């Protein structure tokens, strides 16, 4: 790793650049009507999703991640040679080895820096931010690239209307930069207040197999759906997501009040409009300050938060000095959040 100057002052880890990439192939709700018993209205009223993107042959989560990363690096105004760390959050890697992060490192032409994947399902990007933040505060990492990239279309059962309509493909990336500032402690800028959780006892509510998943049939000679495709217990997952989003939003609102700052925006995992609306009803947080784009992209798992964050910043809706809550929840079960001061 490149040696850097001694950094002994107060530290902030800020988002210095963002980028995202979604496939060009649009899968509108109507496309599912010939596959399963559903309709555009049925999907919209139950999820808020109108369309999602699926990759074309030849693309992978790694190729999407590369393109999102290039945009983030350009947005940060640095070169790939200045990246000191790469973490890719994904549960749909192009290969188990080499990892997406290593593929991204090679394609970008970065130096031989630490590069690894992290698997925490839909919460993966928030987990990856936390790991990068800790490494930047304790080591010599000046700029880190954190990516969320998924191709859930590769793991769907297109005869199961409870799951196949929900997911899409995409990638989002951020460049984190370490800033040494004597006034850092008085500033709200940067990442803070990470909250990371898991409950593996309820892991059977959301499952997705891999190439090494046990394929043992049951007594009737059938495989559990979770051994072949992404599978979830929709009703229980819905209740879990509403409770966790509500809890995290309440905690963030209280934390911001204690700091004397306003929580300006919530950037949630894009999973279901009814889940978001329910949490807003419980907390009173205004819906016009929640970044939602799931109507166009569906649930892109670890990619959903960075895609939404990139859109929020590039469209100018969020501005310098504002405070954002990044929050996600998903398989594992996992959930987590972070505050981000711009």
Shared domain for 139 and 231, answered yes or no, is no
Model confidence pLDDT, tens digit, residues 290-341: 999 999 999 999 999 999 999 999 999 999 999 999 999 999 999 999 999 9
Catalytic residue at 269?
A: yes
CA dist 280 → 25, 68, 240, 255, 324 (Å): 32, 30, 15, 17, 16
Q: Report the 3 state secondary structure along 174-231.
A: EEEEEEECCCHHHCCCEEEEEEEEECHHHHHHEECCCCCCCCCCCCCCCCCHHHCCCE
Question: Residue 335 and residue 248: Cα distance in Å, rounded?
Answer: 9
Rounded to two decimals, the pTM is: 0.93
Measured between alpha carbons, how far is 342 from 225 in angstroms, rounded to an integer? 43
192 shares a domain with 125: no
- Do residue 174 and residue 303 come from a single domain? no
Same domain, 155 and 193: no
Output the pLDDT for position 1. Answer: 38
* Confidence (pLDDT) at 6: 41
Average pLDDT over residues 5-32: 87
Query: Tell me: the pLDDT tens digits for 68-77?
Result: 999 999 999 9
Q: Are residues 109 and 123 in the same domain?
A: yes
Other Cβ atoms within 10 Å of 217 Cβ, number: 10
Question: In a 3-state reduction of DSSP, which class is residue 261?
Answer: coil
Confidence of residue 102 (pLDDT cuts 50, 70, 90): very high
- Residue 221 confidence (pLDDT): 63
Mean pLDDT, residues 112-134 taken together: 98
Q: Is residue 256 part of a domain?
A: yes
Does residue 272 sit in the same domain as residue 178?
Answer: no
Query: Residues 23-47: pLDDT tens digits?
Result: 999 999 999 999 999 999 999 999 9
Catalytic residue among 29, 110, 269, 272: 269
| 265 vs 194: CA distance, rounded Å | 16
pLDDT tier at 228, thresholds 50, 70, 90 = confident
Q: What is the pLDDT of residues 246-302, one digit of tens each?
A: 999 999 999 999 999 999 999 999 999 999 999 999 999 999 999 999 999 999 999
| 193 shares a domain with 233 | yes
Query: How many domains does the structure of the chain reveal?
Result: 2
Contact 198, 333 (CB under 8 A): yes
| Active-site residue identified among 88, 110, 122, 256 | 122
- Residue spans of alpha helices (H) in 22-60: 40-47
Residue 218 domain-assigned?
Answer: no
- pLDDT bin (cut points 50, 70, 90) of residue 180 is confident
Both 109 and 195 in one domain: the answer is no
Check residue 10 and give its pLDDT. 74
Whole-number Å distance between alpha carbons of 83 and 73 = 9
Which CATH number do you get for residue 41?
Answer: 3.40.47.10
CA distances from 331 to 2, 68, 99, 248 (A): 36, 24, 20, 17
217 located within any domain: no
Mean pLDDT value across the chain:
92
**Is 1 among the domain residues?**
no
Domain that residue 254 falls in: 187-209+224-341
Quick check: is 304 in a domain? yes
Q: What pLDDT shows up at residue 222? A: 63
pLDDT digits (tens, 9 = 90+) for 197-219: 999 999 999 998 877 776 776 66
With contact defined as beta carbons under 8 Å apart, do 85 and 114 qualify? yes
pLDDT of residue 314: 97
- What tokens appear for 291 in the block? 């970044």
Q: Report if residue 81 sits inside a domain.
A: yes
- Give the whole-angstrom CA distance, residue 283 versus residue 286: 9
- Give domain status of residue 70, yes or no: yes
- List the catalytic residue out of 100, 272, 293, 299: 299
Question: Quick one: average pLDDT of 148-177?
Answer: 96
162 among known catalytic residues: no
Q: Residue 253 falls within a domain, yes or no? A: yes
Are 125 and 172 in contact, with CB atoms under 8 Å apart? yes
- In the block, tokens 């991204």 appear at 104
Q: Are residues 130 and 68 in the same domain?
A: yes
Using a pLDDT cut of 90, give the percent of the chain over it: 85
Q: Mean pLDDT across the stretch 109-120?
A: 98
201 plus 148 within the same structural domain: no
User: Is the same domain home to 153 and 191?
Assistant: no
Whether residues 235 and 120 fall in one domain: no
**Three-state SS letters, 111-170:** CCCCEEEECCHHHHHHHHHHHHHHHHHHCCCCEEEEEEEEEHHHHCCCCCCCCCCCECEE
Supply angle C-alpha 207, 132, 301, rounded to 5: 30
């Amino acid at each position: 790793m490149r040696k850097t100057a001694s950094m002994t002052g107060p530290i902030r880890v800020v988002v210095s650049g963002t980028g995202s990439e979604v496939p060009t192939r649009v899968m509108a709700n109507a496309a599912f009507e010939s596959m399963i018993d559903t309709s555009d209205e049925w999907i919209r009223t139950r999820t808020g999703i109108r369309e999602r993107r699926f990759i074309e042959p030849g693309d992978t989560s790694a190729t999407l991640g590369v393109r999102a990363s290039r945009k983030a690096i350009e947005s940060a105004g640095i070169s790939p040679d200045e990246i000191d760390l790469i973490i890719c959050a994904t549960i749909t890697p192009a290969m188990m080895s080499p990892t997406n992060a290593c593929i991204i490192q090679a394609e970008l032409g970065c130096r031989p820096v630490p590069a690894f994947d992290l698997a925490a399902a839909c919460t993966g990007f928030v987990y990856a931010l936390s790991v990068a933040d800790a490494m930047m505060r304790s080591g010599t990492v000046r700029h880190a690239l954190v990516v969320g990239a998924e191709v859930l279309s590769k793991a769907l059962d297109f005869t199961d209307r409870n799951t196949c309509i929900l997911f899409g493909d995409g990638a989002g990336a951020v460049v984190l930069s370490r800033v040494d500032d004597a006034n850092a402690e008085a500033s709200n800028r940067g990442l803070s207040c990470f909250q990371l959780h898991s409950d593996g006892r309820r892991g059977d509510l959301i499952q997705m197999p891999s190439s090494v998943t046990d394929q043992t049939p049951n007594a009737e000679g059938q495989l559990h759906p979770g051994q072949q495709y992404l599978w979830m217990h929709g009703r229980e997952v819905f209740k879990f997501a509403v409770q966790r989003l509500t809890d995290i939003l309440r905690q963030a609102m209280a934390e911001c009040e204690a700091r004397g700052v306003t929580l300006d925006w919530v950037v949630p995992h894009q999973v279901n409009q009814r889940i978001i609306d329910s949490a807003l009803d419980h907390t009173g947080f205004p819906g016009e300050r929640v970044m939602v784009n799931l109507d166009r992209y569906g649930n892109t798992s670890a990619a959903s938060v960075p895609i939404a964050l990139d859109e929020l910043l590039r469209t100018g809706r969020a501005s310098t000095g504002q405070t954002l809550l990044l929050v996600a929840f998903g398989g594992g079960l996992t959930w987590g959040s972070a505050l981000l001061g711009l």
